[in-house]
C-alpha cells in the first residue's frame, strides 16, 4: 500500500481502525493465522507479542524473501501518539539505512486497519541477555560490542535522528566472535533534531520519554534533546558491560531520577579492575552537563579505543602473593538507609586506605567487600604482613559498631596472574581471585587460611 506522507497514513489508519472497531468498547486483538496477507507478504507464524503489537515471520509471496512483519494492534491505531510512534519508527529507520540498524522494506495497513511494517528477519540474543549470562566484561570486549552500535548511532545523528532509548535490551547480538555483529533496534521514540515543517513531535509539556535507568538528566528535566543524550546512554551502557549492572539502581523511580540528576557518577574501577583511562571515559559520558560530554559518538569511540589500547602489553606471569578478603556483614534488621550507607562508606574507605597503605592492590571491589593482593618481595618477613592487618580489622570494626555490622578479614597465600612490576602489578586472574574457594570467617573477625599459616611460619622471602 502506497502512503504519501506520515500524516496521510495516520488519517487513513485511524479511519480504518474506527470502521473495524465500531461497536467494541475494548477491541479484540485479531487472530492472524498462517496465510494472512500483509501486503505482498504471507504471515507464517508469530514470533513475539506484546501490549502494543505482534511480530510475525513472513515470506514474500512472489520473491520468497523471508522477513519479519510488525503489526500494531488495530485498537491502538486510533490513539494518535501510538500510531505516530509506529509510523515514525518505520520512516526513521528507513531514512538512516545502516548495516547495524534493522532494515525496513515496506509498510502499510492490514485489512482490519492495523498498521504494519516489514523488516529484515533476525535471530540472536539481546545484549542484556549476554550481560545477564556472562556478568561483567573486559574493557576490550565491551569495546567490541560498542563499536558497531556507535557506527549505527553516528549514522542516525548524521541523518538528524536521536535514538533517546539506547539500552542493552534494544541491541540484538546477531553473531558473536572477535568482531560481533549487532543490530540497534526500537526507534519508536526517536527524535528528529530538525523537525520537518508541520510535523508533530512525540512529547508534550511535562512528558518524559525513555527508560529511567538510562535516561540523561535533560530527559528527566524535559530539556533539549540532542546527540549528547545518546552519549549519556552510551556511558550507562559501557558501565553496565564493565560491571554487570546499571550505574544508578533503585526500585523507586523518583530516587532513580534524583540519582541521575544529582548523584556523582560511580567509577567502574570501584567495582572491577578497570583502568583510570576507562574510568575517565565513563565519567565524561555521565556528566550532568550535556555540554561537557563527548561532542559526538565518534569522539566517544575514539576515547574508548585509546583507553583500551595496550601498546606495550606485557605477558602475565604467575606470582606468589598475599591476598586479603575484607568484607562487611550488615545486620538483617531494618535500619535508616542514610545512616547505614554513611557508616558503610566510612568503613569501606578505611579498609581501602589501610590495604593500600600496606601495598595491597585492589583486585576486586563490591559495595561491601574488597580483595587486596600484594606480590611477595624479597626480604618480606611474615610477621610484618600480619600485625598491620589485625590493626586494620580492629579499626574498621570500631567504625562498623555504629550500625551493628561485622567486619571480617581473611588472609590467604597463593598464586595470582599478574602483569607489570611487582610494586605496581595488575592482577589479571589466578586462583586467589576465586575468593569463594578459600575465604573463611573467624568469630574474632580475623581469619588465616592454612596456606597463609604455613607462610607465616616460614622464613623471610628470598
The domains of the chain are located at: 6-119, 125-193+210-308, 317-457
Tell me phi and psi for residue 93, to 5 degrees: -60, -40
Q: Which residue has the higher pLDDT, 421 or 116?
A: 116
Q: d(Cα 126, Cα 170) in Å, to the nearest integer?
A: 7
Q: What percent of the chain has pLDDT over 90?
A: 39
Q: What pLDDT is recorded for position 182? A: 95
What is the band of 338 on the pLDDT scale with cuts at 50, 70, 90? low
What CATH code is assigned to 317-457?
3.30.70.1230
Q: If pLDDT is split at 50, 70 and 90, which confidence band does 279 have?
A: very high
Return the residue matching grid coordinates 583510570: 276
Region 263-277: mean pLDDT is 86
pLDDT band at 9 (very low <50, low <70, confident <90, very high): very low
Task: Tell me what pLDDT residue 58 has.
Answer: 93
Q: What is the mean pLDDT of residues 348-368?
A: 85
Q: What is the pLDDT of residue 317?
A: 84
CA 29 – CA 389 distance, rounded (Å): 66
pLDDT score for 20: 43
Give me the architecture of the 6-119 domain, per CATH: 2-Layer Sandwich (3.30)
| pTM confidence score | 0.62
Residue 197: pLDDT above 50?
no
* pLDDT band (50, 70, 90) for residue 205: very low
- SS3 assignment, position 95: helix
Catalytic residues: 165
Q: Where are the alpha helices (DSSP H) in 22-125?
A: 80-96
Please give the C-alpha separations between residue 27 and each of 36, 51, 109, in angstroms, as whole numbers: 19, 13, 17
Three-state DSSP at 336 gives coil
C-alpha neighbours within 13 Å on the C-beta side of residue 77:
31
- pLDDT(462) > 60: no
Taking Cα atoms as reference points, which of 227, 116, 232, 132 lies closest to residue 173?
Answer: 132
Separation CA 28–CA 302 (nearest Å):
51
CA-CA distance, 6 to 171, in Å (whole number)?
26
Q: How far is CA 214 from CA 173, 203, 235, 274, 294, in A?
A: 19, 18, 9, 21, 17
Give the pLDDT confidence score for residue 231 in this predicted structure.
Answer: 97
pLDDT at 3: 40
CATH fourth-level superfamily of 125-193+210-308:
Transferase(Phosphotransferase) domain 1 (1.10.510.10)
Q: What is the pLDDT of residue 287?
A: 94
pLDDT of residue 452: 93
- Which pLDDT tens digit goes with each residue over 116-167? 989 899 889 899 888 877 777 889 999 999 999 999 999 999 988 898 889 9
The closest of 316, 300, 220 to 261, measured between CA atoms, is 220
Amino acid at each position: 500500500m502506497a502512503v504519501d506522507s506520515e500524516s496521510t497514513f495516520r488519517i487513513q489508519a485511524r479511519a480504518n481502525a474506527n470502521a473495524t472497531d465500531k461497536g467494541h468498547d475494548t477491541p479484540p486483538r485479531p487472530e492472524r493465522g498462517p496465510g494472512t496477507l500483509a501486503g505482498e507478504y504471507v504471515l507464517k507464524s508469530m514470533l513475539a507479542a506484546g501490549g502494543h503489537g505482534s511480530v510475525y515471520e513472513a515470506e514474500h509471496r512472489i520473491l520468497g524473501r523471508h522477513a519479519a512483519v510488525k503489526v500494531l494492534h488495530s485498537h491502538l491505531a486510533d490513539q494518535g501518539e501510538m500510531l505516530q510512534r509506529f509510523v515514525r519508527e518505520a520512516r526513521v529507520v528507513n531514512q538512516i539505512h545502516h548495516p547495524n540498524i534493522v532494515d525496513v522494506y515496506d509498510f502499510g495497513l492490514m485489512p482490519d486497519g492495523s498498521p504494519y511494517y516489514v523488516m529484515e528477519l533476525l535471530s540472536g540474543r539481546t545484549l542484556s541477555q549476554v550481560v545477564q549470562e556472562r556478568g561483567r566484561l573486559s574493557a576490550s570486549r565491551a569495546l567490541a560490542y560498542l563499536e558497531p552500535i556507535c557506527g549505527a548511532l553516528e549514522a542516525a545523528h548524521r541523518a538528524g535522528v536521536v535514538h533517546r532509548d539506547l539500552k542493552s535490551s534494544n541491541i540484538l547480538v546477531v553473531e558473536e566472535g572477535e568482531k560481533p555483529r549487532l543490530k540497534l533496534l526500537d526507534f519508536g521514540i526517536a527524535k528528529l533534531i530538525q523537525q520537518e515543517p508541520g510535523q508533530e513531535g512525540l512529547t508534550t509539556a511535562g512528558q518524559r520519554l525513555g527508560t529511567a535507568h538510562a535516561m540523561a538528566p535533560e530527559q528527566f528535566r524535559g530539556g533539549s534533546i540532542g546527540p549528547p543524550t545518546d552519549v549519556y546512554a552510551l556511558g550507562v551502557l559501557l558501565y553496565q558491560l564493565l560491571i554487570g549492572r546499571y550505574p544508578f539502581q533503585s526500585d523507586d523511580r523518583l530516587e532513580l531520577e534524583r540519582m541521575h540528576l544529582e548523584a556523582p557518577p560511580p567509577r567502574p574501577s570501584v567495582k572491577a579492575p578497570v583502568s583510570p583511562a576507562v574510568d575517565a571515559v565513563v565519567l565524561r559520558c555521565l556528566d550532568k552537563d550535556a555540554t561537557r560530554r563527548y561532542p559526538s559518538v565518534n569522539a566517544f569511540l575514539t576515547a574508548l579505543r585509546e583507553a583500551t589500547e595496550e601498546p606495550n602489553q606485557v605477558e602475565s606471569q604467575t606470582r606468589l602473593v598475599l591476598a586479603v578478603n575484607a568484607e562487611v556483614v550488615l545486620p538483617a534488621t531494618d535500619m535508616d538507609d542514610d545512616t547505614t550507607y554513611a557508616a558503610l562508606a566510612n568503613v569501606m574507605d578505611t579498609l581501602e586506605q589501610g590495604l593500600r597503605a600496606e601495598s595491597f592492590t585492589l583486585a576486586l571491589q563490591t559495595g561491601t567487600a574488597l580483595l587486596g593482593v600484594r606480590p611477595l618481595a624479597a626480604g618480606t618477613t611474615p610477621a610484618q604482613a600480619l600485625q598491620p592487618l589485625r590493626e586494620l580489622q580492629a579499626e574498621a570494626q570500631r567504625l562498623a559498631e555504629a550500625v551493628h555490622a561485622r567486619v571480617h578479614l581473611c588472609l590467604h597465600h597463593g598464586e595470582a596472574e599478574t602483569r607489570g612490576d611487582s610494586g605496581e602489578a595488575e592482577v589479571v586472574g589466578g586462583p586467589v581471585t576465586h575468593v569463594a574457594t578459600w575465604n573463611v570467617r573467624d568469630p574474632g573477625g580475623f581469619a588465616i587460611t592454612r596456606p597463609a599459616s604455613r607462610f607465616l611460619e616460614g622464613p623471610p622471602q628470598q
